[in-house]
Amino acid sequence: MPRYALLLEYNGRPFSGWQRQAEHPSVQGALEAALARVQPEPAAVAAAGRTDAGVHATGQVAQADMIRAWDPFRLGEALNHHLRPNPVAVLAVAQVADGWHARFSAVERRYTYRILCRRAPPVLDHAVWHVRRRLDPEAMAEGARHLVGRHDFTTFRSTECQSASPVKTVDEVRVEAREVPYGLEIAVHVRARSFLHNQVRSFVGTLERVGADAWPPARVAVALAAADRAACGPVAPPGGLCLTGVRYPHDPFAA
């Protein structure tokens, strides 16, 4: 059965997350329903990362095994037709080797979390965390430096996390800020091979405390060393988080 890699973009607001659920809408469920319209046999799909409820993606990667060979462009067009009106789009399709896997072949995942600091609520852009006070991005960047490297991230993972180990290597936590009309937008970019459940949102919620001058930047290092979930700041809401990219040894969409 030919295997295809699918590059996906989606708005996570109406979904209970990536993973298929019997009684709630999911991104996986929407994609599998679209696949069922283009071939008679069900096609199970797997993704590079299982995003949580309300989390968005501009660079999610999934795989699907088809009964027959498809022209990648035509498969993408057919899936986009049948995905409507779900807020999910197939950006690119590529045929890959049978042993290639969207999750296990990945060597890096990238997330961006956006915070909008202004009094007025966002109306057109809902993929942000609206914070009504101005945060200090320089203090947040100082605190973020403590999160880079190989550490026990028990403090920054959900109590429901199923990972076998809390030890992960985080390659980058970068804070960017830009002035916007009547406010400030802060983006926190995080890059690693793999993540614990709620790890990025836990990072951002903690860094927000630093930016609000409720924590000194050095307290991030203290929280990390505690290896205790109680030492974490509040977990940031899901709506500001976006999976922006997945890297493989060889980019399946390069052609």
Catalytically active residues, by annotation: 52
Peptide bond preceding 40: is omega within 30 degrees of 0, i.e. cis?
A: no
**Cα–chain-centroid distance for residue 236?**
13
Output Rg (C-alpha) for the chain, integer angstroms.
19
Query: What is the C-alpha separation between 15 and 123, in angstroms, rounded?
Result: 20
Query: What is the C-alpha separation between 89 and 7, in angstroms, rounded?
Result: 8
Three-class SS state of 34: helix
Query: What is the C-alpha separation between 115 and 11, in angstroms, rounded?
Result: 17
Query: What is the C-alpha separation between 132 and 119, in angstroms, rounded?
Result: 5
Query: What is the C-alpha separation between 167 and 150, in angstroms, rounded?
Result: 7
Residue listed under structure tokens 């088809």? 66
User: Are 102 and 46 within 8 A, CB to CB?
Assistant: yes
Residue 7, token pair as written in the block? 């590059």
Where in the chain does DSSP place strands (E)? 3-10, 45-47, 56-65, 88-96, 108-117, 129-131, 149-152, 167-180, 183-192, 241-247
